[in-house]
């Protein structure tokens, strides 16, 4: 009986692990030896044969306490494989076949490994699962990067199963190297169609306290994670990419002037609005240059997007007659850029001395863009589209389901009077119960579903008539 070191699993959400690493930054060599001996003793005392995971709780004094033993490999076993060089699945099968172990107690662990669990869930809404079809799935690769997954673009994340999409395992010679490799890999992990926790994982791993190895089971609440970000803060570069995708999609032409894959030869830099006007005016006498938005002196084409309650208008125009780049205007900002690649759902541009890569998918009028580990959702709309403008302060009159689920409790009936924040019903989805409260006081006007009904995402669960 041998032990293969430990895994640190303190960072959790909803009391479930999301980041695991080996070796643990909390253990000294002496504590590691004592804990390993205790695990071996537990297996021997119970007569257990095959792979098993003994879990302990460790306090701030360095004392540890037995929690449970899992008689199997666990989700995070790849980090142990990384630091030991062993194939634990193979070893488990060999033992089950009656064969002896072909390795002995490792003298020491090699390097450091970190695993991130990639979930289809929204950290900003209390880690609610995100259901839908994966319109794009692109996992990072490279030295020291491993992906364990069973999904691909086109697959559907259902309500009935755990929403884990993949496990990202990154290793390095030191913990610091493993952290940097993990952050780099997360920035290249692209998933569209559902919301994921990729950005949240990067936020946790980049946190100074995580870097210092000071992680406890209350890590997220203790440090206010996830931080509340402005949901409508979309960078100019993302809006420009969306406008480029939308224009290419509507015009069916290659924006680079080379049938969609051609490479612009020049870097582009931020330019003033005056300079953009001057460039267009200088070419106004040439009729060839005045024909359409894709001519250097054309009036340009406008693309409008709605993000939350904000509307953004982006104008694209060719920057000159030498095929050297493009000009984009958004509000008071004018940005010059060069298209290096535009093919399918991939766009690469050169702007401000940087090469920027975007992935985009359109469904109906909705664009979903990925850039540097973050996903953005934009609704393509006409410049005069005011359909989503509402009078400020309007009172909500209904509750809608944020995800598919099954009604497990109805706590009110039609005609009942309810008070603001009174619990009215409960949905169950993915092993979780989601409670819904009345948004204001009033009378229940309509309850379209009964206990046991399957409710689709976006469905109206309850309508309330104001007491006024």
> What confidence tier does 232 reach under pLDDT thresholds 50, 70, 90?
low
| Half-sphere exposure for 175 (CA within 13 Å, toward CB) | 15
Cα 139 to chain centroid, rounded? 12
Question: What's the pLDDT at 267?
Answer: 37
| Active site residues per annotation | 72
Higher pLDDT, 356 or 276: 356
Q: What is the pLDDT of residues 72-96, one digit of tens each?
A: 999 999 999 999 999 999 999 999 9
- Sorted by where each starts, the structural domains of the chain and their CATH numbers stand as 12-222 (3.30.470.20), 236-381 (3.30.700), 398-466 (2.40.50.100)
Beta strand 112-119 pairing with 121-122: unpaired
Mean pLDDT within 38-56: 95
Does position 277 have pLDDT exceeding 90, yes or no? Answer: no
pLDDT at 386 over 70: no
pLDDT digits (tens, 9 = 90+) for 138-185: 999 999 999 999 999 999 998 888 999 999 999 999 999 999 999 999
Rounded Cα distance, 237 and 241, in Å: 6
The mean pLDDT of the chain is 85
State the Cα–Cα distance between residues 114 and 206, nearest whole angstrom: 13
81 or 288, which is more confident? Answer: 81
Query: Which pair of tokens denotes residue 418?
Result: 């309810």
pLDDT value at 298 more than 80: no
More confident residue, 381 or 5: 5
Burial zone of 415 (CB within 10 Å; 0-12 exposed, 13-18 middle, 19+ buried) = exposed
Q: Indicate if the pLDDT at residue 351 is higher than 70.
A: yes
Residue pLDDT, tens place only, 315-346: 998 876 554 588 999 988 899 999 999 999 99
Q: What is the pLDDT of residue 318?
A: 83
Q: For residue 400, what pLDDT is reported?
A: 86
Indicate the pTM of the whole model: 0.77
Report the pLDDT value the prediction gives residue 320, as an integer from 0 to 100: 62
Residue 347: its pLDDT value, please? 96
Is residue 218 scored above 80 in pLDDT? yes
Q: What is the pLDDT of residue 458?
A: 77
Query: How many residues are present in the chain?
Result: 468
Query: In the predicted model, is pLDDT for residue 269 greater than 50?
Result: no
- The CA-atom distances, in angstroms, between 264 and each of 257, 324, 326 are 9, 6, 10
Q: How far is the C-alpha of 61 from the C-alpha of 184, rounded, in Å?
A: 34
Percent of the chain with pLDDT over 70: 84
Position 45 confidence tier, pLDDT thresholds 50, 70, 90: very high
**Dihedral, CA of residue 446, residue 451, residue 455 and residue 460, to nearest 10:** 10
| Structure token digits, residue 22 | 């080996």
């Amino acid at each position: 009986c041998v032990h293969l070191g430990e895994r640190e699993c303190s960072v959790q959400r909803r009391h479930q692990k999301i980041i695991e690493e080996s070796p643990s930054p909390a253990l000294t060599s002496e504590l590691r030896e004592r804990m390993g001996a205790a695990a071996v003793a537990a297996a021997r005392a119970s007569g257990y044969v095959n792979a098993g995971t003994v879990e302990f709780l460790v306090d701030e004094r360095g004392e540890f306490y037995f929690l449970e033993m899992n008689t199997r490999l666990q989700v995070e076993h790849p980090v142990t494989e990384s630091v030991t060089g062993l194939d634990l699945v193979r070893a488990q099968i060999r033992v089950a076949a009656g064969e002896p172990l072909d390795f002995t107690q490792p003298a020491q662990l090699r390097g450091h490994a970190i695993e991130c669990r990639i979930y289809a869930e929204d950290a900003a809404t209390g880690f609610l699962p995100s259901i839908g079809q994966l319109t794009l799935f692109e996992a990072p690769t490279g030295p020291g990067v491993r992906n364990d997954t069973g999904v691909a673009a086109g697959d559907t994340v259902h309500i009935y199963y755990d929403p884990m999409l993949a496990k990202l395992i990154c290793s390095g010679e030191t913990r610091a190297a493993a952290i940097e490799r993990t952050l780099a890999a997360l920035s290249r992990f692209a998933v569209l169609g559902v919301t994921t926790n990729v950005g949240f994982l990067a936020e946790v791993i980049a946190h100074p306290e995580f870097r210092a190895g000071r992680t406890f089971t209350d890590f997220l609440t203790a440090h206010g994670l996830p931080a509340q970000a402005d949901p409508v803060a979309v960078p100019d570069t993302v809006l420009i990419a969306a406008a480029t995708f939308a224009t290419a999609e509507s015009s069916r032409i290659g924006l680079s002037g080379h049938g969609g894959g051609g490479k612009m030869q020049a870097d582009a830099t931020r330019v003033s609005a005056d300079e953009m006007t001057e460039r267009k005016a200088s070419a106004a006498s040439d009729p060839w240059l005045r024909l359409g938005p894709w001519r250097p002196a054309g009036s340009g084409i406008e693309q409008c997007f709605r993000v939350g309650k904000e509307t953004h208008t982006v104008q694209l125009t060719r920057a000159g007659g030498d095929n050297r780049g493009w000009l984009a205007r958004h509000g008071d900002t004018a940005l010059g850029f060069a298209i290096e690649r535009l093919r399918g759902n991939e766009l690469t541009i050169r702007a401000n001395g940087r090469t920027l890569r975007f992935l985009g998918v359109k469904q109906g009028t909705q664009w979903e863009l990925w850039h540097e580990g973050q996903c953005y959702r934009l609704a393509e709309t006409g410049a005069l589209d005011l359909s989503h403008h509402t009078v400020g302060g309007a009172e909500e009159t209904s509750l809608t389901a944020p995800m598919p689920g099954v009604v497990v409790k109805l706590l009110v009936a039609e005609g009942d009077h309810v008070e603001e924040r009174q619990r009215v019903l409960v949905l169950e989805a993915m092993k979780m119960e989601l409670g819904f409260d009345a948004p204001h006081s009033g009378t229940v006007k309509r309850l379209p579903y009964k206990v046991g009904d399957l409710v689709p995402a976006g469905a109206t669960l309850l309508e309330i008539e104001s007491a006024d």
